[in-house]
Structure 1
Amino acid sequence: MPIDLQMIDTGAARLRVAVAGEGPLIVLIHGFPESWYSWRHQIPVLAEAGFRVAAPDVRGYGGSDKPHAIEAYAIKELCGDIAGLIAALGAQQAVVVGHDWGAPIAYATALLHPARVRAVAGLSAPYAGRGPAPSIELFRKIYQDRFFYQLYFQEPGVAEAELETSIRASLRKFYYGSSGEARKANDRVANPTGPGLLDRLVDPAQFPSWLTDADLDYYASQFRDSGFRGPLNRYRNSERDFSDMAGFDGRQITQPAAFLAGSLEPILGMIPGVDMVERMRAQCADLRQVKIMEGAGHWLQQERPAEVNAALLEFLGTLPGV
């Protein structure tokens, strides 16, 4: 099934979008630090199953627009891009699927643009609702005496400078560090040196087979063109997002929903003492599917493509008219 890379005007931004197939629309939203390419194993399978699949480079990434301002990466702006993409593709509605940061974008699009979202699925990052305070405020309390990457990302220019020094090596360490293989091996630097992130991450002698050298080369080429400012700006909008989503405090997602994660997913243990999956069950009125894939880490649709494809097709099969 051929994949066509198209530039699509969503209204507020032009996105580069990988498009394939014909039928009901599915939008696949990637996370950090990734690309439409992270869905390379899902796009042809979903298209062959009778769907039109659209996987954009999120604003700030790859071939898409890259505004400079931090506030251009607020959740309402990114959700507007997704709603605009659905409309630009001539569809009334879409099933919206997101991984990592793409999952909160998918969930918030379901809330902010409910008429555009037929159903929603999240990979790796569960929906926890708005919460009592901005997430970055919570992380400052939890990690006040420890290094935490989201806190490190707050100061503009600091993480960009480190990650852009050697983009391929940065991505290699980042991808490996949250993988199932690294988590199983407890493969991390016990006594990091230096103030940054990369000293705290392992550069494996051999990368797990789910990411080839060619795959890593493609990712690196995208960040050489786009840089890291736009992607990192997503982390700098916690307070703004909290304010913008105030009208949805206590509101459930009402569309049919699904959640997929690896059993070694680091996000599930990010807030000590909180069962994130049970929290999501309380926040969704129609959570039809929860699948936890044993031994998998954060990069779920790349680590376990066949299992993810089967789970997504199973979820899609529960929707009327599909």
Structure 2
Amino acid sequence: MTHRSVAVNGLRLHLAEAGDGPLVLLLHGFPECWYSWRHQLTALAAAGFHAVALDQRGVARSERPTQVEAYSILHLVGDVTGVLDALGEERAALVGHDWGAYVAWHVAKMRPDRVRGIVGLSVPHQPRGIEPPMTTFRKHFGDGFYMSYFLQPGPADEELARDRHRTFRLLLRGGSPGKPRAAHRSAQVMAQDGTLLGSYPEPSALPNWLTSHDIDVFAAEFADGFTGGLNWYRNLDRNWELTSAWHNAPVQPSALYIVGDQDRILLWPDAEEHITTMREHVPNLRDVIRIPDVGHWTQQEAPHVVNTALVDFLRSL
């Protein structure tokens, strides 16, 4: 595995890469970074692909614009196409998890000419709604929904950065199976003390897919804080406004969707409906794979299952 930075849209963006062959661009979620793809980088390289994990703008080793408005979906999509240009590639297969899936679906919708195929992990394709997303979330979860907390600059930034090891220990363990679905739902809202992390109990032990070394790496990668990633959330309603031209536009490239059956995303408004009707908006959807006893951190919790599915799909393109 090698590391380098490339100039994209006036920023330096960090890439971790391995292998040679057709390009596969890996897009992380929040709070994640290139290290979230540690199991996929080597597996895809061994299967004959050029695997590249991007630190998206504002995260880990990539540069951080100061303006909140600089983290809109148009900027994030532009960064993906800019990375392809920097690598001298006309097209790539995209694999995205969590927020990275949100970005990947939008790249496939807005620039299908640059996409060979797309794999969404955790977050399914969701057609643009009839109202801003935060309006829908507040109706479903109430004012205590964690994304509402993220929208205000300052409190969430400070809480998550106060003890980065604790932040990753609680959030990564909290998204993994091992507690009832009702408890997963309660973790969508703030604790009584007004904090996010207060809604997650301190784990007695880490799950078998997560080590103390992994926690150390994540904590080190986020030494400069979480504000860049939080700014993605602060553009959710702005993204809804900016994407009006793509309302009901289909995702045309071949696609695959993978989700753990214990993923908290399945508790979101209309999530199951979005999955069952996805083919209406993603006409070339190959399959929906549900992984038993896997939570939100899909490719980290079940790397063998995910890697096998990725290689089979990518070789079929």
TM over 0.5: yes
Q: Which residue of 2 aligns with 1:170?
A: 167
- 1:134 & 1:97 partners in 2: Cα distance? 26
- Residues 190 and 196 of structure 2 are in contact (CA less than 8 Å); yes or no, is this contact kept in structure 1? no
- Residues 190 and 198 of structure 2 are in contact (CA less than 8 Å); yes or no, is this contact kept in structure 1? no
Q: Which residue of 2 aligns with 1:103?
A: 101
Q: How far 1:183 moved relative to its partner?
A: 4.9
- 1:314 & 1:15 partners in 2: Cα distance? 29
- Residues 21 and 53 of structure 1 are in contact (CA less than 8 Å); yes or no, is this contact kept in structure 2? yes
The more displaced of 303-312 and 265-274 is 265-274
Normalising by structure 1, report the TM-score. 0.93
- Residues 184 and 295 of structure 1 are in contact (CA less than 8 Å); yes or no, is this contact kept in structure 2? no
Inter-CA distance 41–191: structure 2 relative to 1 (3 Å threshold): closer
- Write the deviation string for residues 85-106 of structure 1: whole angstroms up to 9, x where unpaired: 0111111100011000000100
Q: Which residue of 2 aligns with 1:137?
A: 135
Q: Give the 4+ runs in structure 1 shifted more than 6 A.
A: 187-191
Q: Percent identity?
A: 39
- 1:289 & 1:275 partners in 2: Cα distance? 16
- Write the deviation string for residues 132-151 of structure 1: whole angstroms up to 9, x where unpaired: 12211111222225x21111
Inter-CA distance 121–212: structure 2 relative to 1 (3 Å threshold): same
Inter-CA distance 183–87: structure 2 relative to 1 (3 Å threshold): farther
Normalising by structure 2, report the TM-score. 0.95
The more displaced of 110-119 and 184-193 is 184-193
Inter-CA distance 273–71: structure 2 relative to 1 (3 Å threshold): closer
Q: Which amino acid aligns with 2:134?
A: I
Gaps of 5+ in 2: none
- 1:304 & 1:217 partners in 2: Cα distance? 20
- 1:296 and 2:314 aligned: no
Q: How far 1:130 moved relative to its partner?
A: 1.0
Q: Please provide the CA RMSD for this pair.
A: 1.8
Q: Which residue of 2 aligns with 1:284?
A: 282
Aligned equivalent of 1:113, options 111, 114, 119: 111
Q: How far 1:184 moved relative to its partner?
A: 7.0
The more displaced of 124-133 and 174-183 is 174-183
Q: Which residue of 2 aligns with 1:149?
A: 146
SS in 2 for 1:275: helix
- Residues 177 and 183 of structure 1 are in contact (CA less than 8 Å); yes or no, is this contact kept in structure 2? no
- Residues 124 and 274 of structure 2 are in contact (CA less than 8 Å); yes or no, is this contact kept in structure 1? yes
Q: How far 1:7 moved relative to its partner?
A: 0.6
- Write the deviation string for residues 146-205 of structure 1: whole angstroms up to 9, x where unpaired: x21111111111101111111110111111111123457958789943011111111101
- 1:22 and 2:20 aligned: yes
Q: Which amino acid aligns with 1:162?
A: E
Q: Would you say how many aligned residue pairs link Structure 1 and Structure 2? A: 315
